[in-house]
Structure 1
Amino acid sequence: MTRRQIASDILKVELEDRADKLAYDLTILAPDGRLRGIRLNARSGAIIRIEKN
Structure 2
Amino acid sequence: MNWKLWGAPIALGVSTTIGLVSALLGDGWLDAISAVTLGAPVAVGIWYGWRRS
**TM-score grouping bracket, smaller chain normalisation:** under 0.3
More helix by share: 2
Q: TM-score, normalised by structure 1?
A: 0.24
More strand by share: 1
Q: Which has the larger radius of gyration?
A: 2
Q: TM-score, normalised by structure 2?
A: 0.24
